[in-house]
Structure 1
Amino acid sequence: MPTVRALQRQWPDARITWIIGKGEHSLLAGLSGVEFVVYDKSTGIAGMRALWRQLADTRFDVLLHMQQAIRASVLSLGLKADVRVGYDKARAKDAQHWFTQHQLAPHPNAHVLESFMDFARVLGVEDDRLAWDLPVPDTARNEAQVISGETPYLVINPCSNVRLRNFRNWSVEGYASVIEHAWVQHGLKSVLTGGGSALEREIGEQIEALCQPASVINAIGGTSLKGVLALIDQAQAVIAPDTGPIHMANAMGTPALGLYASTNPQRAAPYLWRDFAVNAYPDAVRTYLHKSVDEVSWGQRVRHPSAMMLIKADDVIAKLDTLLAHTALTASAGSTDED
Structure 2
Amino acid sequence: MKHPLPAQPRHIGVLRLSALGDVCNLVPTVRALQRQWPEARITWIIGKGEYSLLAGLSGVEFVVYDKTSGIAGMRALWRELAGIRFDVLLHMQQALRASALSLGLKADVRVGYDKARAKDAQHWFTHRQLTPHPRSHVLESFLDFARLLGVKDLSLTWDMPVPETAFDEAHALTGGAPYLLMSPCANPRLRNFRNWSAEGYAAVIQHAWHRHGLLTLLTGGGSTQEREMGERIQSLCEPGSVIDAIGGTSLKGLLAMIARARAVIAPDSGPVHMANALGTPTVGLYATTNPDRAAPYCWREFVVNRYPDAVDTYLHKSLDEIAWGQRVRHPDAMSLIHAEDVIERLETLLDYTAATQSERELPDDET
Normalised-by-shorter TM-score class: over 0.9
Partner of 1:38: 64
- 2:330 is paired with a residue whose SS is coil
Residue 253 (structure 1) aligned with residue 279 (structure 2) = yes
Q: CA RMSD in A?
A: 0.8
Q: Which residue identity does 2:334 align to in structure 1?
A: M
Residue 286 (structure 1) aligned with residue 312 (structure 2) = yes
Partner of 1:10: 36
Which residue, 201, 213, 217 being the options, matches 2:227? 201
- 1:334 is paired with a residue whose SS is helix
Inter-partner Cα distance in structure 1 for 2:107 and 2:314: 44
Which residue, 175, 178, 182 being the options, matches 2:208? 182
Offset at residue 331 of structure 1 (A):
0.3
Which residue, 68, 73, 90 being the options, matches 2:116? 90
After the TM superposition, which residues 226-241 of structure 1 pair with which residues of structure 2 at under 5 Å, given as runs?
Answer: 226-241=252-267
Inter-partner Cα distance in structure 1 for 2:213 and 2:272: 22
Residue 159 (structure 1) aligned with residue 185 (structure 2) = yes
Aligned residues: 339
Q: Which residue identity does 2:107 align to in structure 1?
A: A
Inter-partner Cα distance in structure 2 for 1:315 and 1:227: 29
Q: Which residue identity does 2:301 align to in structure 1?
A: D
Inter-partner Cα distance in structure 1 for 2:39 and 2:84: 17
Inter-partner Cα distance in structure 1 for 2:285 and 2:264: 11
Which residue, 156, 173, 176 being the options, matches 1:130? 156
Q: Which residue identity does 1:263 align to in structure 2?
A: T
Inter-partner Cα distance in structure 2 for 1:169 and 1:69: 24
Q: Which residue identity does 1:86 align to in structure 2?
A: G
- 1:42 is paired with a residue whose SS is coil
Partner of 2:8: none
- 2:87 is paired with a residue whose SS is strand
After the TM superposition, which residues 1-339 of structure 1 pair with which residues of structure 2 at under 5 Å, given as runs?
Answer: 1-337=27-363
- 1:94 is paired with a residue whose SS is coil
CA deviations on 1:64-102 (whole Å, 9 max, x unpaired) are 011111111110011000000000001111111111110
CA deviations on 1:173-195 (whole Å, 9 max, x unpaired) are 00000000010011111000001
Inter-partner Cα distance in structure 2 for 1:167 and 1:200: 13
Offset at residue 337 of structure 1 (A):
3.9
Q: Which residue identity does 2:94 align to in structure 1?
A: Q
Inter-partner Cα distance in structure 2 for 1:329 and 1:69: 43
Inter-partner Cα distance in structure 2 for 1:337 and 1:325: 21
Inter-partner Cα distance in structure 1 for 2:33 and 2:360: 30
Q: Provide structure 2 residue ranges, at least 5 long, that are not aligned to the other structure.
A: 1-26
Inter-partner Cα distance in structure 2 for 1:188 and 1:69: 41
CA deviations on 1:238-267 (whole Å, 9 max, x unpaired) are 000010010000000000100000000000
Q: Provide structure 1 residue ranges, at least 5 long, that are not aligned to the other structure.
A: none
Q: Which residue identity does 2:172 align to in structure 1?
A: V
Q: Which residue identity does 1:48 align to in structure 2?
A: M
Identity %: 73
CA deviations on 1:125-170 (whole Å, 9 max, x unpaired) are 0100000000100110100000111210000000000111111000
